[in-house]
Amino acid sequence: MSLVAAFRALDSRQRHTVLASFLGWTLDAFDFFLLVFVIGNIAGEFGVATKEVAFSILLTLAARPIGALLFGRLADRYGRRPVLMVDVLLFSVLELACAFAPSLTVLLVLRFLFGIAMGGEWGIGASLVMESIPAGSRGAVSGLLQSGYPCGYFLGALAYWLVFGVFGFGWRAMFVVGALPALLVLYLRARVPESPVWEARRQAGKPRHVLHAMRGHWKRLVYMMLLMAAFNMFSHGSQDMYPTFLKSQLHLGTGEVTLLTMLLNAGAIVGGLFFGAWSERVGRRRAMVVAALLALPCIPLWAFGGSLVLLGLGAFLIQVMVQGAWGVVPSYLNEMSPDEVRGTLPGFAYQLGNLLAASTAYAQAWLAEAHGGNYAMVMAPWMAAVAVLLALLAWLGPEVRGVRFGGGQA
């Protein structure tokens, strides 16, 4: 089903739900990626090495499983919608607080707390959407929902250009801009209904304890966690240190960095939409495997393009594949999850994978500094190895396309 056909199958309330969850993930990613553009600026102000500021990315990613478990359990108990509103407000406030950090230590603590809040948004938003739409629309809507991530990165690049290139403000102004997602709470309150699957389960009686609901599904959790570790090494390995690579190794200016980052995220949006919709025809597993393997021939252009045109083409193409594989993830993880823990399990598995992959940016920065600042020679083999690993894990997983929600089984 195409994205247009998928939206035609939705009523107005379902469309509001999809839009709100898309915006939630977009603005969550926007707040996360604001930091990656100013790592060098922060390091310069506090008089520390780049890798010490890059450690904040590790802390944010490591904290996300805490938020996924905490907010996910609250969402399974009290509903997706109210908990999502609290979560969005919290990560917006913490992002604003980063603008006033007096030291690197305070900034690291704030980024850890931000990670807890950020960890709750994806799982709740994805479960709210997937439980609210027809099964035949899941693939296309999954790609749209996951495309919120590169949209957030794209908006972060735009904010970087405006704050630094146009207005000439410093890095702290970036985090002031990061408070804007709090406005989404007003839309959630006014337009978005509660998940009908959650409402039906609430009316049916007392929900089961999470350990009881997970009986017989622990192996699936382990698989989902490993798969998401590979996914997060795939995306963060291609994105987090990319602006630093462009600035410190290739010595590109603000405008060129912004342009290449926008091309990268344009490719990510195209990939997420295409492969998400395609998974409705060929299955979730096959779509993920094909996208991961097609990233391999894109790596040389992305890392060693040699000119702005070739680098731009490489950045666009590799993210078509990286976020193309990611476009299947919201539907895939929700379809693998039991009804009673769908608010918790997809997000928790996702963020546990993030925890396993949390050292990606720090490891790349450390390895690059150990090799004379050569980020390209570090990132290229990293991406090749992870692409193969991801394809293998996706091929070994179950195919759950179109599974019925509301019947008590995954």
Report yes or no: 180 and 28 within 8 Å, Cβ to Cβ.
no
The predicted pLDDT at position 410 comes to: 40
250 band by pLDDT with thresholds 50, 70 and 90 = confident
For 178, phi then psi, to 5°, come to -70, -5
251 band by pLDDT with thresholds 50, 70 and 90 = confident
The predicted pLDDT at position 321 comes to: 96
The predicted pLDDT at position 409 comes to: 42
Q: To which residue do tokens 């990319």 refer?
A: 242
* Helix extents (H) in 131-170: 138-146, 148-160
Q: What is the pLDDT of residues 88-138, one digit of tens each?
A: 999 899 999 999 999 999 999 999 999 999 889 888 999 999 999 998 899
Report whether pLDDT(229) > 90: yes
Per DSSP, the three-state class of 138 is helix
Q: How far is CA 106 from CA 18, 113, 331, 369, in A?
A: 36, 11, 37, 25
pLDDT > 90 fraction of the chain, expressed in percent and rounded: 40
CATH of domain 11-396: 1.20.1250.20
The span from the CA of 281 to the CA of 5, in Å, is 13
Q: What is the CA radius of gyration of the chain?
A: 20
Q: How far is CA 260 from CA 57, 177, 266, 312, in A?
A: 21, 22, 10, 5
Least reliable range by pLDDT among 198-202, 312-316, 404-408: 404-408
Buried b (16+ CB within 10 A) or exposed e, 318-339: bbbbbbbbbbbbbbbbbbbbbb
DSSP state of 341: G
> What is the token pair recorded at 342?
């769908």
**Three-state SS string across 167-198, please?**
CCCCHHHHHHHCCHHHHHHHHHHHHCCCCHHH
Instruction: Identify the CA nearest to 326 among candidates 367, 255, 386.
Output: 386
- Four-point Cα dihedral 185, 187, 191, 192, nearest 10: -40
The span from the CA of 272 to the CA of 146, in Å, is 7
Report whether pLDDT(206) > 70: no
What's the average model confidence in pLDDT over 365-372?
Answer: 85
Q: What is the pLDDT of residues 258-301, one digit of tens each?
A: 888 888 888 988 999 999 999 999 999 999 999 999 999 999 99
Report yes or no: 347 and 72 within 8 Å, Cβ to Cβ.
yes
Higher pLDDT, 213 or 281: 281
Report whether pLDDT(347) > 70: yes
Report yes or no: 185 and 27 within 8 Å, Cβ to Cβ.
no
Instruction: Identify the CA nearest to 223 among candidates 285, 147, 271.
Output: 285
